[in-house]
Amino acid sequence: MGRRKSKVCAPRERNTTEVFRTEVDFEQVLYRLALHAQSLFTAAACLGAERALKKAILNRKNCLFYKTLKGAEVGDLYMSLIHTCELNGGDPVSYLTELLRHADELVLKPADWMPWNFQATLEQLQSKPA
């Protein structure tokens, strides 16, 4: 038996239009795009939730050092006010300062002095004639 000779074939010519022409299923593309966008929004929501939980966990660690139960309640109240102000894009220091300056108005209408609308209340008070 002799040695088998390998056949070398000439490369087959391809039709380049067949290689680059693909059928695009736009419904499938839109579906995949929607899934990707949904996963991005879910990830962003998880990050926001994790940030919110970090404040609560930090407060839990710090509350071990309150001397009295009343002190812990006050600390929780301030933590809640500060964090709510931060979540609404406000400055907690200026918010708490304005609450102290306008304590009388705060007692009368507490809903007007929430972190998300206290700026509008301040503008109304400043625009009133004295």
Say whether both 78 and 94 belong to one domain.
yes
Question: Which residue carries 């680059």 as its tokens?
Answer: 20
Say whether both 114 and 75 belong to one domain.
yes
Tokens matching residue 51: 């940030």
Q: Specify the pLDDT at position 54.
A: 78
Q: Specify the pLDDT at position 50.
A: 73
Greater pLDDT, 101 or 24: 101
Q: For residue 14, is pLDDT > 70?
A: no
Supply the range of the domain harboring residue 84: 67-125
Count of domains for the chain: 2
Q: Specify the pLDDT at position 66.
A: 81
Say whether both 86 and 72 belong to one domain.
yes
Measured distance CA(52)–CA(88) in Å, rounded:
12
Residue range 31-88, pLDDT digits in tens: 676 766 666 666 666 666 677 777 777 777 777 788 888 888 888 888 888 888 888 8
The type of residue at 98 is E
Greater pLDDT, 21 or 73: 73
Q: Specify the pLDDT at position 9.
A: 54
Is residue 100 included in any domain, yes or no? yes
Say whether both 77 and 60 belong to one domain.
no
Of the residues 65, 84, 112, which one is the last residue of a structural domain?
Answer: 65
Q: For residue 93, is pLDDT > 90?
A: yes
Q: Residues near 118 by Cβ (< 8 Å), separated by ≥ 6?
A: 90, 95, 98, 99, 112
